[in-house]
Every structure is written in C-alpha cells, then in structure tokens.
Structure 1
Amino acid sequence: MTSDSATSQGKVPFTTRQWLIIALLCGAQFMLALDFSILSVALPVLGEDLGFQLSDLQWVVTAFALPSGGLLLLFGRAADLYGRRNWFIAGMVLFTVASLAGGLAPTPGFLLAARAAQGVAAAMLTPAAMSLLTTSFAEGSQRDRALGINGALLSLGFLSGVVLGGVVTDLTSWRVTLFISVPVGIVASIAAPILIKESRNEETPRLDLLGAVTVTGGLLSIIFGITSAERNGWASTTTLLSLGAGLVLLIAFFAVESRVTAPLVDLRVLRRRTVSWGNTTGLVTFAMMTGMVFLLTLYMQQVRGMSPLNAGFTFASLGVAAVLGGAFAARIIGRIGVHRALVYGLLLQAASTAALYFLDTEGGMPLLLVATATGGFGHLLAVVGYMITATSGLPDHEQGLATGLAYTGQQLGVTVGTPILATVAAAGIDSAGGSGPAAVLDGVQNGLLLAAGALLLAGLVAIAFLRPRQTVTAPDAGAGTGTGTPLADQQIAAR
C-alpha cells in the first residue's frame, strides 16, 4: 500500500523519525514496567544473598512503588512547566545510575535506597514520556496507534519481568536483572535530545508547593497503607493511620487547589468525565489484572505444584495476547470507536476472569491458558481505550497533567489489586479450614469472583458515564475503512 492510499483510507503511516520516537518513549515505558516486576521471582535468592529478613523482602517492591506512585502528579506538572524532554532525560539518567547502584548493592539498606531512587526516576519518566508521546502525534489515528504500541509494551514489561526475572536469576545472578536497564538508559539518554524537540508550557507560573506537598503526602500515605495491609492486615494500626492520614491530606489538597491561582491540578480538568471516570476504569482494569496474576501464581504453585519458573512461563499466553491487543487496538478503535472498545475490553476481561472460577485441583490448564489469553487481550483493549479517553480533548499544555493523572490511577491500581484480592483469598482459605490445595483453590476462586465483579462494574460505569453525546466524523481517525472514528469518543471531556 502506498503512502497516498494509506492516507486516503485515514491511516497515516509513521515516518522513520516517528518510529524512532516510539521506540525511545515506549521502550522507556517497557523498561520501567520490567524493572517494577523483574525482582519479584528473585526475592528469595536476593534476600539470602544480602541478608534480608524474610518479613522485610516486600520492601524491595514497596521502595519502588511508593515514590513512583506518590510523585507522579507533582512530576507530571513539573514536566509541563519546566520542559518535558529535559525532565525525561534527567529521569533517565537517574534511573540508569540507580539501576547500576542497585546491582552493585552490598547491603539491604543500599539496595532499598537504590530502589527508591528508581521509583523517583520512574515518577519523572512516566508522565514526561507519555506527554511527549501524545504531543508528538496528532490526535487521531497516529496517536491511537502510538498509544496502542505503548500499551502493549507496558503490559508486556510487567508480564515479562516475572518470567525474565526467574530465567536470569537461575542462569546468572539477581544482580543482572538490575544491570539490564543500564545500557538501555545510556542509549535513551543520548537519543532523546537528538530525536525529540523540547515541549513545555509557554507560561511558567510558580509551582504550587502547598498543593504538591498535600497531594504527594496523601498519595504516599495511601500507597503505604495499601501495601502494608498485605503484611499487617487491614485492621492494623499502621494501615488505618496511613490510610486516614492519606485521606486527610487529599481532602486538604482539594481545598488548596480550589483557592490558588496556579494550581498543581486544575480541578476543571478533574471535572471532565473522561478524566474522572476514564481513570477510574483504568485503575480497575490494572488492579484486577495485577491481582489476577497473583491469584493464578498462588493457584499454580500451591494447588498445582508448579515451580516459580514454570508458573512464569505459563503466563506466556497472557503476554502474547496482551501484545496482540495493543497491536490491534488502534484498528479496532478505528472501526467501533473508543467508547465501545473500552467497554468491550472491560467486559471481555471480566468474562475471562469469571471463567477462571472453574479451575480445579487437577485439570483445567487449557482453560487457564485460553482465559488468561482472552483476558489479556481485553485488558490491553481497555488500557488503550482508557488512555485515549483520559488524554484526548485536552490542550498540549495540560498533557503532562493528564498523563500524570492516568498513570497515578494505573500505579494505584497496580498497588491495590494484590492486597485486596490477597485478603479475600486468605479469608476463603481460612473459611475452608486449612492451607491444602482444596482450601487454596477456594480462596483463589473467591478472589477471582470479586475481580470479575469489579471489572463488570467498571464496564457499566463506562457505559453510563462515558457514552458519547454526539457523533462527529474525524477524517483521519479511521483504520482502513475510510469511515473515521467518532470524534465525540475522544473529545467528550471538552463538554
């Protein structure tokens, strides 16, 4: 197909420079997702090597999750104000140095500090990379396809981290899992100023420091409370105080933002239905996917007796389907519209999660493979749909804020999913009277039903609150049909 024919059908091909920008920015997102999960399988070996107490191993993951989720809104706004490309490069350099330091860590405290620095860098990189991606491509078919590629690599990074962590640790050392990011970071730091033009707001008001302190403290407290609940329980003093403090700080944040002249978060943006409800659906799809992976890991290892490495490889069908979902998402959206793609993705993930309820203690591996694959495809369709919904219809100077909000919801989802479903599974195991395969299966089934219900509710929310009010044809947004994508699907937030 020639360039002219592709354009006439509404699908504008990427230039070589645009492909390189996609490789740089989406590759950075893949690396961040990979590093978030790659140490999960290696934790026992890592703990033995450095002398971690077993109960403290969770901090290897939590030290990354706390700053990466808590600082997203602040750093997303900072990227808007002070230059997205410069912020991206600074974050990439910090991430590279922190990864090298983590791989060389001689003590537990040194490793945790390096992981925290990685989390800070991730909070700098994520909104900067996403806002650079959305501002580098015009709203329509090109941006949809770029977001589809990004979504595929993002989920592939999370999923492949589990597999790659086991393989690399078995064949070499857990330290290599951290060294992997170093050459990638060096190349990206050099390529960014060559490929990407600087992007920032024309006017740079003073940063809203009070808003930054309250929202960052609130998010950090909420994330800490959620992650500590898995260890200490939801009724523990630590959990309740953390969640309570986070709630108070977030209420104070909204009070501050309604009164300052240059707020960190423009509350008018939060009132847009695509921003508020779109990010709600994104939070749910990420939370339930992360929680489902935890439940199935529990099922495969404690019910079916699989090794961690074999359990990781079993998720290959999920990873492949997720990549396909991201690859075909833009084409599907071009045919049926963003709203329907989001709804269908959520409902497909819900149905696939519900089907996993019928796993048993002996058979069911074909069901596991098929259901996780269809769920992964639906998840990626929902992810791309919600990212387009949450970032479209907004001017370029608000893209850093919009992507910061979107990824804050995503990080909260990744954080909250496992503790909630783990609590439900533990209650089911206790009620079944033991920790044998049958009791664990009961707990897993309870968690899967809750996940399916939450996804169904998210789909109903999308139907009720994100339905386009009118249909206007966007000439460039079709995907091979010439009919275009309903523009209202992408710009509903403007009304």
Structure 2
Amino acid sequence: MDADTRRWAALGLLCAANFMVVLDSQIVLLALPSVERDLGFTGGGAQWVMSAYLLGFGGLLLLGGRTADLAGRRRTFLAGTGLFLVASLLCGSAWNGGALIGARVAQGVSAALMAPSALSILTATFAEGPARNRAIAVWASVGGFGATAALLVGGPLTGGLGWRSIFFLNVPAAVLLLALGPSLLDESRGGARRGYDPVGALTVTLAASATVYGVVRIPETGWTSAWTAGSLAVAVVAGVAFVLAESRSRAPLVPLRTFRSRRLTGGNVVTLAAAMAVFGTSLALSRYAQDVLGYSPLAFGFATAVLPLAAVAGSAAAQAALRRATVRAVAPAGLAVMAAGCLVLARVPAGGYASVLLPGLALLGLGLGASGVAGSVAALAGGAEGDAGLASGINTAAFQFGGAFGVAVASTAVLSWADGTGPDAGFRAAFAASGGIALAGAAVAAALLRTPARRRVSEPVKVTTR
C-alpha cells in the first residue's frame, strides 16, 4: 500500500488500541453486582475491580510515556499490548476476588504502556497541521466513544454472556494489534537524551499512585479520613521530591520546562475537567437509572446509546471548527456544552426520558467530543517533538486522574445529599457538581490558552527542544 494509505491504516490500528484501553476503565461498572455475587466480595470490595485498573494505569502513565520516547514507541506499544492480552485472559479466568484485582492491576500497567506510546506514534506519523488535527480528532472521538460506550456494551454482555465476557472481548482485538502492528507502525524515539532517571521514575510513580489510591478510596472512606489524608500527604511529599530530582537531573524523566507551555497545560486542564464531568455523570446516571428508575443493565445500555454517538458527532464538529477558529474558542465551548448537559440532567425527576435524559446525554456527548479533540490538540502541540511520548502520557494521565476525581466527587454528592431529602436529591447534586466542574474548567482553559494570541492550531509551528 502507498505511504498515505499506510499511515491512515496505522491510525485505525492505534484507535482500536485506544478504544480498548478506555473501554476497560468503565466497562466493569454495570458488571460489579454480578462479580460481587460470583466471587464473594464483601464490604464494597468489588469496587476495587474498577479502582485497581485506574491505580495501575494512572500510577505509571508518565513513566510509560517516557519509556516510549527512550526505548522505542512501537516496541513499547507492542510490549504493552502483549501484557494486556495476558492480563485480560487472567481477568476472564479469575478464580477469586484477589486474582481478579491483581489481573486488573496488570491490565492497568499494560494500558499505561499502550496508551501514551500509541498517541506518540500518531504524532510521529502525522506532521503538525490539518492532517494531524484530523488524526487527533479521530483518536479523540474513538476515546470519547470508548469512555461512553462502556455503558452500552457492558450491560448486554454482562446480561447475555456473563461478566467474564467483558474481559475476553479484549483477546481477539489484542491479537489483531500484535499481528498488524509490526507491519503498519514505524519505530520512533524521542530526542537525543539517553538513559533513565531512576529517582524521577520512583518519585513520580509514587506520587501518581498515592494520588490515585487516595482518590479512589474516597467513596469508601470519605474525604477527611486518615487513609485519604495519608495517601495525599505521601503524594505531596513524593511530588516535591520529584520536582527537586528533576531540577537537578542531567537526563530528567519529565523535564520541568515541559510545563512552561501554556498550551500543554491548558489542553490538559480541558482533558481533566472533561473526564471529571463525564465519569462523575456516568456513575451517577448508572446508579440513578438502576436504583431509582429500575432499568436493567441491558435497558440502561440502550437508553444511553445517544451519548457515544453524540461524542463522535462532537469530535467531528470540533475538528471542522479548528480549521477556522483557535483552540481557545473550541475547548471552552465544548466544556460549556458539557456543563449544559449536566445541568439538564440535574432536573431529574422532572420530566421523563425524552425531556430530560435524552437531551442531557446528547449535550454531554457533544461537549465531550469537542473538548476531547481540542484538549488533545492543544496538549500535544504544546510539547516538543522529542517529548511526544511524555506529552501523550501527561494527556492520558489527565484523563485518568480526572476520571478518578470525578467518580469521587459524584459518589460523595450522591451519599451526602441523599440522606433525609429523598432519593433524587443526591443524584441532582452529583449532576450539578459535574456541570460546575466543566464550567470551571472552561474558565481556566480560556485563560491558559490565551497565548499564542491569534495563531490557529492548524498552522504549522516550529518546535524547539532546548
């Protein structure tokens, strides 16, 4: 095949990996009751089937991104895919709760290798400009579809084939990636820096893991518990040690100059806010539909089908808008549309599906697709070419951290507002909180993306690697 056809085929392969990685972060949501019954989880332990993946994924993303730059992006991607295949088989074959949680951690670790290396391969395959923007739009739309399709796919699979099928679903996809990856994907590396930064790797992994661990336990222990305070204190101390180590290292794992880019920082704020809003809303909506409205997992999956479809439409609209407008205009607008969708959902139980849930989900999906594309474009364009893996890791980490925080905020809102005020108050509070997060993200992003003042993202930019 010619070079142009080959690179778009490579994009399709990378997007399949992205879909698989993002889908697995939420697909267990509707399967948790079945998992709990079959494997004998007690005391809310089944929640760790979801949290273990986020812990492995979020804790190692920056290390995975930098490993891709130094060891080779295709090599890292294929190694991660092989581990993902094995971990998925172990998840589907788990004989008890401990085995499933351990396998989910391994799945998260493999995703931390796959996701940033895949996105950095994309940036190496497509030069900055309209072609890369189109590629990122496709990537982001697939990611948005995966984040929301988990609700659509997980219900029918769990109800029809059992919860183990949601893990075996990954096996043929991983085999396909391993078979086609060597021929479709080119090997590439980062800049001239060689060697690893063990102190930086240790401290950033500890800081990220402690943050995710503390946050995912908030629904179980509370925001002011000793577990939460202790975990976040460890994260702060490790984060300070990481900054000190990187400022003195000759070959830092994460060069601190990376964060001087307002576009990279602003793009990641967009990604963080969008993930918080959609993960928090998805959790609250799942519980509301099943606990209050009495939806079955299958019915709920079909009822939310508009969400992933709208996310794809929003991604396409954002990609078209970026040809004529700046990312500073598109990104906050996407978050504002997400906020509008959350606030429509906060009207429950006023009205029914057609007047509240359907328009709320449609707006949420449109905004997610638009903000996902704009956030990714800004974040990746803000990094140096030699740091593509690192920039990809940071952007993916922002999405995963946002998801963990969004679930914690929504869970807290549901529990805090539901007592003595009726079954709907907690869910209304959760939807409103998610909307407020999206609005705050839009305001911060608009300020951070103020410069460069009028250059459009689709225009080429000269990248330096000081």
- Mark the runs of 5 or more structure 1 residues left unpaired by the alignment: 1-12, 478-484
Question: 2:110 matched to which residue of 1?
Answer: 121
Letter in 2 for 1:459: A
SS in 1 for 2:317: helix
Question: 2:17 matched to which residue of 1?
Answer: 28
Question: Mean Cα displacement is larger for which, 305-314 or 81-90?
Answer: 305-314
Q: Does residue 312 of structure 1 match 2:305?
A: no
Question: Mean Cα displacement is larger for which, 389-398 or 246-255?
Answer: 389-398
How far did residue 168 of structure 1 move? 1.3
TM-score, structure 1 as length reference: 0.89
CA deviation vs aligned residue, 1:118-175 (integer Å, no higher than 9, x gap): 1110000011000001110011111111111111111211222222222112212221
Letter in 1 for 2:270: T
Distance 1:14 1:364, change over 3 A: farther
Question: 1:454 matched to which residue of 2?
Answer: 437
Alignment counterpart, residue 279 of structure 2, candidates 267, 280, 290: 290
Counterpart-to-counterpart distance in 2, 1:356 and 1:161: 19
Kept in 2, the 8 Å contact 1:141–1:330? The answer is no
Larger-Rg structure: 1
TM-score, structure 2 as length reference: 0.95
Letter in 2 for 1:465: L
Question: 2:427 matched to which residue of 1?
Answer: 444
Kept in 2, the 8 Å contact 1:322–1:376? The answer is yes
1:170-181 matches, within 5 Å, as 170-181=159-170
Q: Does residue 60 of structure 1 match 2:43?
A: no
1:226-237 matches, within 5 Å, as 226-237=215-226
CA deviation vs aligned residue, 1:401-424 (integer Å, no higher than 9, x gap): 111111111110011101112212
Distance 1:239 1:402, change over 3 A: same
Counterpart-to-counterpart distance in 2, 1:205 and 1:233: 43
Alignment counterpart, residue 186 of structure 2, candidates 194, 197, 220: 197
Counterpart-to-counterpart distance in 2, 1:446 and 1:323: 27
Question: Mean Cα displacement is larger for which, 127-136 or 160-169?
Answer: 160-169
Letter in 2 for 1:102: C
Alignment counterpart, residue 132 of structure 1, candidates 106, 112, 121: 121
Kept in 1, the 8 Å contact 2:264–2:382? The answer is no
Kept in 1, the 8 Å contact 2:261–2:383? The answer is no
Kept in 1, the 8 Å contact 2:342–2:431? The answer is yes
How far did residue 393 of structure 1 move? 4.4
Alignment counterpart, residue 158 of structure 2, candidates 169, 172, 176: 169
Counterpart-to-counterpart distance in 2, 1:407 and 1:309: 30
Question: 1:464 matched to which residue of 2?
Answer: 447
Distance 1:171 1:364, change over 3 A: closer
How far did residue 389 of structure 1 move? 0.4
SS in 2 for 1:41: helix
Letter in 1 for 2:19: F
Kept in 2, the 8 Å contact 1:291–1:417? The answer is yes
Question: 2:292 matched to which residue of 1?
Answer: 303
CA deviation vs aligned residue, 1:290-320 (integer Å, no higher than 9, x gap): 1011222232223322223222221111111
SS in 2 for 1:462: helix
Counterpart-to-counterpart distance in 2, 1:374 and 1:89: 36
- Mark the runs of 5 or more structure 2 residues left unpaired by the alignment: none
Distance 1:300 1:397, change over 3 A: same
How far did residue 94 of structure 1 move? 0.5
Kept in 2, the 8 Å contact 1:275–1:493? The answer is no
Alignment counterpart, residue 158 of structure 1, candidates 132, 142, 147: 147
CA RMSD of aligned residues (A): 2.1
CA deviation vs aligned residue, 1:361-389 (integer Å, no higher than 9, x gap): 56354221112112211111111101110
Counterpart-to-counterpart distance in 2, 1:355 and 1:162: 20
Question: 1:273 matched to which residue of 2?
Answer: 262
Kept in 2, the 8 Å contact 1:393–1:493? The answer is no
CA deviation vs aligned residue, 1:404-462 (integer Å, no higher than 9, x gap): 111111110011101112212221112xx15xxxx221112222222222211211112
CA deviation vs aligned residue, 1:52-96 (integer Å, no higher than 9, x gap): 225210111111110100100011101100100000000000101
Distance 1:47 1:470, change over 3 A: closer
How far did residue 18 of structure 1 move? 2.0
Question: 1:5 matched to which residue of 2?
Answer: none
1:242-261 matches, within 5 Å, as 242-261=231-250
Alignment counterpart, residue 214 of structure 2, candidates 225, 230, 238: 225
Kept in 2, the 8 Å contact 1:257–1:263? The answer is yes
Distance 1:198 1:290, change over 3 A: same
Counterpart-to-counterpart distance in 1, 2:417 and 2:462: 44
Letter in 2 for 1:462: A
Counterpart-to-counterpart distance in 1, 2:145 and 2:462: 29
SS in 2 for 1:206: coil
Distance 1:202 1:232, change over 3 A: closer
Letter in 1 for 2:431: L
How far did residue 202 of structure 1 move? 5.2
SS in 1 for 2:328: helix
SS in 2 for 1:197: coil
Alignment counterpart, residue 103 of structure 1, candidates 67, 92, 99: 92
